[in-house]
Amino acid sequence: MVRVSGDERVSVKTYVPRYQKEEWVERAEEMDVSQSEFVRLMVQAGVRELGLDDDDTDDGGGHADDAGPSLERRVLDELRERDVAGWETLVDALAGDFEERLEGTLDGLTERGVVKYSPRDGGYVLRGDGE
């Protein structure tokens, strides 16, 4: 691993779905920080949450993204936004996010040639090594 000393800045490039970029722009504006600073803050927060603490799993042994702090934070955000939300409202709000994330993931996998949509098979399939 190459370490950069001092305050020398380097560029990092990544690809995210358009809706996620738009959400990041809004959140950065709300926090009054640049987009770069917002991404740096979120990456560092995620790194701390992903294994440097013992709170990374829920009581059932799942990962934090499944039912841990991330989901808890999203539920609390929904309740702050709505004041009151029933079960169906919360499921719809959180499932909608999942659908967008799934679509973005499938788009990325398709672009990279890892999966393809096969009408004959009626869904997405892994691409073979020979394709």
pTM over 0.85? The answer is no
Q: Which residues in 34-54 are b (16+ Cβ under 10 Å) and which e? A: eeeebbeeeeeeeeebeeeee
Structural domain harbouring 23: 14-56
| Per-residue pLDDT reduced to its tens digit, 32-86 | 888 888 888 888 776 655 544 444 333 333 343 444 557 788 888 889 989 898 9
Task: Name the most confidently modeled range: 39-43, 66-70, 98-102, 124-128.
Answer: 124-128
In this structure, what token pair is assigned to residue 45?
């927060």
Q: Is residue 90 part of a domain?
A: no
Q: In the predicted model, what is the mean pLDDT of the chain?
A: 75
Q: Is residue 46 part of a domain?
A: yes
Q: Is residue 96 part of a domain?
A: no
- pLDDT score recorded for residue 30: 85
Counting the structural domains of the chain, the total is: 1
- pLDDT score recorded for residue 11: 82
Q: Is residue 45 part of a domain?
A: yes
Q: Is residue 118 part of a domain?
A: no
pLDDT band at 6 (very low <50, low <70, confident <90, very high): low
Among residues 85, 103, 110, which one has the least CA distance to residue 19? 103
